[in-house]
Structure 1
């Protein structure tokens, strides 16, 4: 008996050394701690979307007291180079029975910009550690409609990580993989045959369209029926030029740090002056409004010893000859897309709903119109609405009922008539 006791103790000690991010067995219950969910990254070998850890939670910042089962999760995803990384988020399933089809559908959701500090993760904020998140009403609208919600935090919110803000494939992979994860919740009710819609606004809008673009190649088994994307920064160069030196320069700072994290070989640290080094620390420490306050009116030229402009930075190259400009261009939406039977790099065989506010003041209207044009040119059925009477942030809330209704129609199999221009 003593030998058995010693063996059991040894096995228990060994299992405690397996990090939540390693290739451990799938959890048999959602009993992880928040520390387990956000533990530092460790080597991974699991399948994309594999559930690594989960915990039962409530979502006090989703209004309406909607009866639901909710879980914070840690799961496997892949970055733009195919490296396995841990990602976090939450899954919420209404308790009310779903009666409109055989299997309850799921909305894959990416929030708008929340900031790059570890405390800003969407799932942390919705589960009670509120900073300045603003997407609770949209989550509530989906749940009231009976949809399950699989909401990703995005890559880089585990402890010691850096959010890869605005990196297209990273965002798209994270968003699709949490749908896979949602179907592995111990005792959960979501079925692999359930339909999927993708949704997001601003940063989340870009993530939504990136998920749409990579879905056929990255997650072909998912039954995606549509993608709703609002306030989309489709062209980061155009967006950066507008943000630089303005009241919303914090978004540009987030993007620069996110690009550096995703493309670490590009020159960065060696370019910085003291102001630049403090700027990087500010990005990594702050959530949305803290970042906007820290960078109000700041110009990119003030952060480097050589005073590089955006155009000068784009020309700088890593030892392999890849430039900052190329890295930025790789995030442009609508490039290389086509329908299911096309020879395009990214094949999309479902419709999109793209929208913006009439008083948009942050994301250039030109890039939002151009993203719509590129989708239409590629033959992707697209509805576009650009007359919400709000600026950037207000439009997110103004559109929530339209987004929910549009997704509901896709789940119901209704035909969508796009409004692409004839010429």
Structure 2
């Protein structure tokens, strides 16, 4: 990245090349006795390697229906941010108590939730444990657990005390999703093995995170045996999505994205652009969850929140340190760029099958960007299964496709062949 000094970049690279499992195991807590405050405490100085388990707390996941017998923990672990610096992320690990009776070690589904909002109470780990209810994917996790798979569900970056969620920031999301798998294998009282197969899953915001994890897996986490990824409702090109959201009934998603971009790239112009309404808008994003944010920003337009009535196109042209524009920053989050197969020269190598999907009645994410992400994967020769025939709109597609997602990943865990339908 342009903003990283060479010495810091070198140090980060060296850290990634360290034998992670051995290093992290030596520092893992001896028991899951952390308090609630310990899990979400402000980060302070971050040490340790990506995937290192820093703290854990056994919990009951009251918002996963069906009373699937399981053990579950909240976890706090080390990851890497979009600029290569170490950060701390929280999440949930759930392991069925029934013995795994199929071949090999128990597989894991690494899961990133869809949009939950940016308030501290919105963290998926808090909602799964019943501390706040504004989420909708407990049933998705139930399907994975009933099939016997462990689940590692990241909160994503930005739910520690004093932080704000870095919504739709690609590398942050992908790293956090891969690192929670590493952390789960270090749990005292856990049973997950380093050779266990891993499937990645997510929808909407989670779908973007799923594909970012898929793109980063081979270079960032070669020790994590990813065998498949499922991603639906994917906002692959944030500029196309922003254009559609601005002034719409779903402008709250755009508000989350703008505040999330500022959280990840605080050196770029942002706060100084705001008028009084803009300052209140940032405060609203930082305190609300999904439905509250959508209500507050119903029909909102970004032009009304800056002193100079800036349009999205004008904001993209604004520059930060080194002449980097907001356009450059947003384009870094675009999916399907420089992707290829495992034996290609692409920056992002994917050597396992991918399932991408969207609802036929999708009304939030433009069809053009979802279709384009699929087309980019197909053009790159990545084994891609595509389905866009669900008779559902955006939110209901998450549930409507859940059975197909579970089956797709289950087939990957059993090494069943799948032919691309590109």
> Fold conserved (TM > 0.5)?
yes
SS, match of residue 56 in structure 2: strand
Residue 51 of structure 2 corresponds to 49
SS, match of residue 75 in structure 1: strand
Residue 248 of structure 1 corresponds to 250
Alignment pair present for 1:150 and 2:160: no
Residue 79 of structure 1 corresponds to 81
Once residues 293 and 73 of structure 1 are traced to their aligned partners in structure 2, the CA distance between those partners, rounded to angstroms, is: 31
Which segments of 5 or more consecutive residues in structure 2 lack a partner in the other structure?
1-24
Contact 2:336 2:376 in 1 (8 A): yes
TM-score, scaled to structure 1: 0.93
Compute the displacement of 1:131 (Å). Answer: 2.6
Residue 311 of structure 2 corresponds to 309
SS, match of residue 82 in structure 1: coil
Residue 353 of structure 2 corresponds to 351
Residue 11 of structure 2 corresponds to none
1:162-200 Cα offsets, whole Å, 9 max, x none, are: 110000000000000000001000021100000000000
Q: How many residues get paired?
A: 398
1:230-249 Cα offsets, whole Å, 9 max, x none, are: 00000000000000000000
SS, match of residue 138 in structure 1: helix
1:114-135 Cα offsets, whole Å, 9 max, x none, are: 0000000000000111231101
Contact 1:248 1:296 in 2 (8 A): yes
Compute the displacement of 1:25 (Å). Answer: 4.0
Compute the displacement of 1:24 (Å). Answer: 10
Compute the displacement of 1:102 (Å). Answer: 1.9
Contact 2:355 2:384 in 1 (8 A): yes
Residue 19 of structure 1 corresponds to none
Displaced runs of 4 or more, over 6 A? none
Residue 17 of structure 1 corresponds to none
Contact 1:110 1:152 in 2 (8 A): yes
The structure that has the greater radius of gyration is 1
Contact 2:115 2:206 in 1 (8 A): yes
Once residues 27 and 347 of structure 2 are traced to their aligned partners in structure 1, the CA distance between those partners, rounded to angstroms, is: 35
SS, match of residue 358 in structure 2: strand
Contact 2:66 2:142 in 1 (8 A): yes
Contact 2:28 2:187 in 1 (8 A): no
Residue 370 of structure 1 corresponds to 372
Contact 1:131 1:287 in 2 (8 A): no
CA RMSD of aligned residues (A): 1.0
Residue 13 of structure 1 corresponds to none
Residue 402 of structure 2 corresponds to 400
Residue 99 of structure 2 corresponds to 97
SS, match of residue 320 in structure 1: helix
TM-score, scaled to structure 2: 0.93
SS, match of residue 397 in structure 2: helix
Once residues 416 and 130 of structure 1 are traced to their aligned partners in structure 2, the CA distance between those partners, rounded to angstroms, is: 39
Residue 11 of structure 1 corresponds to none
Contact 1:216 1:347 in 2 (8 A): yes
Which segments of 5 or more consecutive residues in structure 1 lack a partner in the other structure?
1-22
Once residues 319 and 418 of structure 1 are traced to their aligned partners in structure 2, the CA distance between those partners, rounded to angstroms, is: 43
What are the equivalent positions in structure 2 for 1:14-93 lying under 5 Å apart? 25-93=27-95
Once residues 193 and 388 of structure 1 are traced to their aligned partners in structure 2, the CA distance between those partners, rounded to angstroms, is: 35
What are the equivalent positions in structure 2 for 1:220-231 lying under 5 Å apart? 220-231=222-233
Contact 1:78 1:170 in 2 (8 A): yes
SS, match of residue 322 in structure 2: coil
Residue 133 of structure 1 corresponds to 135
Contact 1:112 1:203 in 2 (8 A): yes
Contact 2:359 2:388 in 1 (8 A): yes
